[in-house]
Structure 1
Amino acid sequence: MGRFLRDNGLSIALGLLFLGSLAGMILAGWHQDIDEALRDGAPLPTLGGYIVSAGFVSALFENWESEFLQMGVYVVLTAMLFQRGSAESRDPDDPGRGNDQPGPGIGGWLYAHSLGLALGALFILSFVLHLLGSWRDFLEEAMREGEAPQTMWQYLGSSRMWFESMQNWQSEFLSTGVLVLLSIILRQVGSPESKPVQAPDAQTGG
């Protein structure tokens, strides 16, 4: 058990942080909906009802969408582009990596690009689920306020939908760019995301 925890500590820690944060999001959002229902004199939402509500689904997958987009774009761009001195970049003067060629056939190509493809597929799935949740939330608001509903395709082109997405996308690209640049001059001892503490700033990669 000790060896298993050592070998998988990073995944376990991130998984526990994810579950704790998700539970916190659910409880905080549920109590917020309860407060709104009390103010409006509406029926109080149950926990199960809140978890499947349009507002929760939209908020959850709106964030997942931006995270998978960030990581997918990062994986693909770091395969093609360089940033001299960054721990997040290959060396532009020696970009090759041994044993890094696709195998034969379509199967080899798919495996060689499987990480980027998987992240892209997760982004698309999260985007669709965000769209469905946000659209349902809009329809519920329109019904309450007596406004005209929109089809899902009409809502896809709405400023509300794209504001929800872009407000997260911009922060993900900013944080990734900041990490790439800060890793040129700053260090974190022991982290594979940092160059060795005594490495010169111009050295690329860890």
Structure 2
Amino acid sequence: MTGWLRERGLVLVNVALFVLFLAAMSVTGWQVANQEFADHGLAPESFAAFLGSGQFVEAVFENWESEFLQMGSYVVFTIFLFQKGSSESKPLDGPAPQDEDPRRHRDDPRAPWPVRRGGITLVVYENSLLILFGILFLGSFVAHAIGGAAAYNEEQLQHGGEIVNVVQYVGTSQFWFESFQNWQSEFMVVALLAGAAVYLRQRGSVESKPVHSPHDETTG
């Protein structure tokens, strides 16, 4: 059992932290929402009602949307773009193992099934990481729009304003403000990691070059 956990520790720890922080967000968000209700002289809502509210849905998927956009974009950018000296980049000169045509390994019995199958199955498989992030981004974008429209309409009704549908909400400055405030931070962090990895090190981390490596050496 210890060996199984060690082999999957990176995913398991991150999933556990995700669940922990999502639960903490849910509880504290519920408390904030009920404080706002109390300030307006309204009865508090149940925890279950809060989880189904536009406010909670918008808050969750607004952040997920930016994360999936960041990672999907990073997958694409690292195919074509380089950063000299960064461990986040493929080598500038010479072949990279990621670029090798998997069709050369069709007869390898240990190759994944789509590689051995070939055809459209392989085409989908060799782009499956980007496809996954694309689907997750689009799903989160739509959920953000739906939740945001619901939250926006709740506030509009409280102040005698006009309600909007989801498509109309996507055309508001509010929706794009919510998106851009997260998107900008995601790309800032990626740029910082790619640039800092040229000069800074963290011994033992795959996100870092070996501590002894020259600054101008790209080891991705």
Q: TM-score range by the shorter chain?
A: over 0.9
Q: Distance in 1 between matches of 2:215 and 2:204?
A: 17
CA drift at 1:108: 1.3
**Distance in 1 separating the partners of 2:99 and 2:172:** 47
Q: Counterparts of 1:163 and 1:21 in 2: how far apart (Å)?
A: 24
Instruction: Give 1:154 deviation, angstroms.
Output: 1.6
CA contact (8 A) 1:102 1:111 kept: no
Q: Deviations over 1:135-170 (max 9, x none)?
A: 011111112211122222121111100000000000
Q: Give yes or no for the alignment of 1:182 onto 2:196.
A: yes
Alignment of 1:162 with 2:176, yes or no, is yes
Q: CA deviation at 1:205?
A: 2.3
Partner of 1:17: 17
The C-alpha deviation readout for 1:170-195, integer Å capped at 9, x for no partner, is 00000000000000000011001100
1:116 matches 2:123: no
Shift of 1:16: 1.0
Change (3 A) 1:144 1:88: same
| Long gaps (5+) in structure 2 | 104-117
Q: What is the identity, as a one-letter code, of the residue corresponding to 2:97?
A: R
Match of 1:203 in 2: 217
Instruction: Determine the C-alpha separation between the residues in 2 that align with 1:98 and 1:150.
Output: 47
Per the alignment, residue 133 of structure 1 pairs with 147
- Report the secondary structure of 2:97's partner residue: coil
* Partner Cα distance (1:119, 1:102) in 2: 21
**What SS does the corresponding residue of 1:83 show, helix, strand or coil?**
coil
Q: Give the paired residue count.
A: 206
Paired amino acid for 1:77: F
> For 1:102 and 1:55, how far apart are their aligned partners in 2?
46
What is the deviation of 1:38?
A: 1.7
Q: What amino acid sits opposite 1:15 in the alignment? A: V
Taking the TM superposition and a 5 Å limit, the aligned residue runs for 1:51-66 are 51-66=51-66
* 1:59 aligned partner, one-letter code: A
Which residue in the other structure is 1:191 paired with?
205
Distance 1:199 1:191 in 2: 14
Alpha-carbon RMSD across the aligned residues, in angstroms, is 1.3
Q: Structure 2: which amino acid aligns with 1:169? A: W
- The Cα of 1:5 is off from its aligned counterpart by 0.9
- Report the TM-score when normalising by structure 1: 0.96
Q: % of aligned pairs identical?
A: 43
| Cα distance in structure 2, aligned partners of 1:95 and 1:125 | 35
Q: What SS class does the counterpart of residue 34 from structure 2 fall into? A: helix
